[in-house]
A and B are shown apart, each in its own frame.
Chain A
Amino acid sequence: MLRVRRFEERCVELYSAARIRGFMHLYIGEEAVAVGVNEALTDADAVVSTYREHGHALARGVPAEAIMAEMFGKVTGCSRGRGGSMHLFDAGRRFYGGNAIVGGGIPLAAGLALADRMTGRNRVTCCFFGDGAFAEGEFHETANLAALWELPLLLVCENNLYAMGTALARHQAQTDLALRAAGYGMVSWAVDGMDVFAVEDAARRAAEGIRAGTGPHFLEMHTYRFRAHSMYDPDRYRDKAEIEHWKERDPVEGLARRLRDAKELSDKARTALEDRLSAEIDGAVEAAEQAPDEPVEDLLKYVTSPVGVSRP
């Protein structure tokens, strides 16, 4: 979690210095969701993410260096510089990327789950999305389809109370999202998304249910982003007091406190950890800066598969 936090803090610096461009959506404040859910997943499982995905990718094990290089648009990036912050992919880790269309990844995740279901592979596909996507038809179409076909799909809704700048109550008639998801006939409940242990526990229970063949599960994670929707967002729609209130429940510091109280993380160890992460992120930035650009001659690569490639 600390790595996600520090990584993104560095991203802010780099973005401000115009080293990273495009849209960039920060996960700061929501780290417990990505980290906790990933604890319940195996390497064989799949993750489909959104455009607020740095945390998901890092938690999934995508190297910080590959993500940083991607944001620098370098050929060593996890999408060879073609995706950027919103489109991190790692096929080897079954990380099926950030989707920048709100709700766009949800049907995709259902398809990954459908393939497992049809081939009898006991795997879970986890799909992250936000409260905004809950308003999209694609969520509702897929929820129905997944429940109907009993797909091994874990739907994780990161309800951070704002669809960009629109508060939940201003875009949902019924704000109890778990209740509504249950209406599709899948197991659903709400979780404290600021508590990594609560998240992990919920995710494990859901994953077990899915592996047992009981169809899709829906988790509503109550969470909060401490920063604006994106780097373009002046954040005029939220009360500063509200942000401060949520920051008291900072998932990273909360975990650190608990670990310190449990004598599992001394101040010295914390410092050492910070130093290690700092060095890792420095190294990632350094490597990204040194990395070559994709030559312009390769512009049209990967639009279609190379000639002569047929299906395996």
Chain B
Amino acid sequence: MTATHTRTTDPAASSDRKTTYREAMREALREALRTDERVFLMGEDVGRYGGCFGVSLGLLEEFGPERIRDAPLSESAFVGAGIGAALAGMRPIVEIMTVNFSLLALDQILNNAATLLHMSGGQLPVPIVIRMTTGAGRQLAAQHSHSLEGWYAHIPGLRVLAPATLTDARYMLAPALADPDPVLIFEHGSLYNVSGDLPADTGPVDIDHAAVRRPGTDVSLITYGGSLPKALAAADDLANDGISAEVVDLRTLRPLDDTTIGDSVARTHRAVVIDEGWRTGSLAAEISARVTEQHFYDLDAPVGRVCSAEVPMPYARRLEEAALPQVDGIVAAARRAVGGPVPTGADAAERQAVTGRAG
């Protein structure tokens, strides 16, 4: 059994076409299931239900219940089973409904998937792909609004991806499956309905490198996933003020692409990192530290961070909006970095000191 990574010769794929992030993901799954029979999809409600967010809708009909495997609500068991199956030569794609539930499988991800290769002295690579929905912004309150991808990006042995564009949603899965090590894919819940033209035949995504989504000269907005659209919108606003913002999409949260990040900062001399995780100990903190370590003498302003407020995500819409990175806050942070005027209150949540007490 050999996997081939030739892309489907679907005539529809030969020119730009309208699609959504959800459909792009589904296409990617379909392609993987078609091209490699070792691939199977396993998770809660992936089959008959069509996936909690509708990503796998229709796949059960095409590939059957063996390969589109509805699992009991037992994250630890089915993620662990995915790891075991990968050890035995399968190419499992495990879907965890949301990152919030991934905590129930954290032991398997951290203590097995990420460690087996090393612990066995190189004998046991774990070629598993684990997908999950992440992020807030849909009034799902404190237990369904986490952005914990930064935690996973802390773990050596894992590769962590965050597709933020239609192209990445469509073409990241193949290289993820080709990676011999465990890959986690975080799909921001706010992106599924994003629609647009999918460029034809872009080929597999380079998952080793970040992408500059918009070139600019004055400040680098470094972000990923669900915050990318916000950063791009902020860049539009800034352009109206004559500030040219470069937007860097990390794409891969581990291993971080220091080169692309660094080159951008070396060009613009200013950086703002946008991360939906909580500020303390966030991925944004890591990126900020790296920029400072590697490009201190290129910096013309402190590295800014726009993160989520340090609060369990509230349900009320206005509170949730206030807690999350928003376009205005990104604009304010960018203005501060380039030394322009910052409207008061634009990013009040951002400037709050982090304390141990409820503020």
Contact = CB atoms under 8 A, between A and B. Distances in A.
B85 interface: yes
Nearest to A91: B123
Interface string B156-173: 110100000000000000
A144 B81 CA distance: 12
Contacts of B75: 141
Contacts of A46: 88
B119 interface: yes
10 contacts: A82-B120, A83-B119, A90-B123, A99-B112, A115-B88, A141-B74, A141-B77, A303-B118, A310-B178, A311-B3
Contacts of A301: 122
Contact of A115 (B77, B80, B84, B179): B84
Interface stretch (A102-110, A185-193, A242-250, A274-282): A102-110
B97 interface: no
Contact of B111 (A104, A109, A111): A104
Contacts of A87: 119-120
B125 interface: yes
Nearest to B67: A118
B84 A97 contact: no
A204 interface: no
Interface residues of A, number: 50
Contacts of B74: 137, 141-142, 144-145
Contact of B121 (A48, A89, A149): A89
Q: Which of A89, A100, A118, A141 has the most chain B CB atoms inside 10 A of its CB? A: A141
The 5 lowest CB-CB distance pairs between A and B, nearest first, are: A111-B84, A107-B80, A80-B121, A141-B74, A141-B77
Interface of B: 2-3, 40, 66-67, 69, 71-72, 74-92, 107-108, 111-112, 116-125, 127, 156-157, 159, 177-181
Given A79-B120, A108-B87, A312 B2 contact: yes
A52 B119 CA distance: 16
A83 B121 contact: yes
A309 B126 CA distance: 13
Contact of A302 (B69, B78, B122): B122
A115 B83 CA distance: 10
B80 A83 contact: no
B112 A145 contact: no
A83 B122 CA distance: 11
A101 interface: yes
Contacts, number: 165
B80 A110 contact: yes
Nearest to B91: A311
Contacts of A142: 74, 76-77, 80-81
B180 A309 contact: yes
Interface in A130-147: 137-138, 141-142, 144-145
A301 B107 CA distance: 23
A90 B69 CA distance: 30
Nearest to A116: B88
Given A107-B81, A115-B85, 5 more contacts: A87-B119, A111-B82, A115-B89, A118-B40, A141-B77
A148 interface: yes
Contacts of A310: 178-180
Q: Which of B3, B81, B159, B180 has the most chain A CB atoms inside 10 A of its CB? A: B81
Nearest to A70: B121
A218 interface: no
B305 to A, nearest CB: 28
B81 A110 contact: yes
A115 B126 CA distance: 13
A77 interface: yes
A201 B117 CA distance: 35
A210 to B, nearest CB: 16
B91 A108 contact: no
Contacts of A64: none
A81 B123 CA distance: 12
A160 B281 CA distance: 43
Contacts of B40: 118
B119 A145 contact: no
Contacts of B108: 104, 107-108
Nearest to A86: B119
Nearest to B128: A111
A100 to B, nearest CB: 8
Contact of B120 (A91, A101, A109, A305): A91
Contacts of A112: 84-85, 87-88
Given A81-B121, A96-B124, A145 B78 contact: yes
B120 A97 contact: yes
A145 B124 CA distance: 24
B124 to A, nearest CB: 6
Interface string A211-250: 0000000000000000000000000000000000000000
A145 B123 CA distance: 27
